[in-house]
Amino acid sequence: MANVHEPVPAGSFAAAAAQANALLFTATQDKLHQPYRGALMPPSTDLIAMFRSKGYAAAVSGAGPCVLVLHYGNAREAIDQIASEQLASGHWRVLHLPINTAGVEIERR
């Protein structure tokens, strides 16, 4: 993990991605809500632990049992590979959703 307090050199996508992912990882460390809910959804807890052990920012999404993985850059294949065993069970599916960086747009018709 990159030190999140170090500035990123200009023009360095890899460094920017590493810093962004380190911030996401830190931001998704939930020590209040997820630990006590883990016993209620062991497969989700195990999947989160697996992603986090690989450095991905993973957390329970909403009320659960959905798992949210946040990342900067293209990690589609890596995420699918990490979750391949769980995906094979037929109980999970991965939705790779982009983030809208433009924000709200108003169209006049």
Nearest to 52 by CA among 89, 86, 27: 27
Task: Note the Cα 60 to chain centre separation in Å.
Answer: 10
What residues form DSSP beta bridges with 48? none
Model pLDDT for residues 69-106, shown as the tens digit of each residue: 999 888 999 999 999 988 888 888 889 988 888 888 89
The pTM score is: 0.74
Model pLDDT for residues 26-53, shown as the tens digit of each residue: 998 877 777 778 888 888 899 999 999 9
Confidence check: pLDDT of 24 > 60: yes
**pLDDT bucket at 62, cuts 50 / 70 / 90:** confident
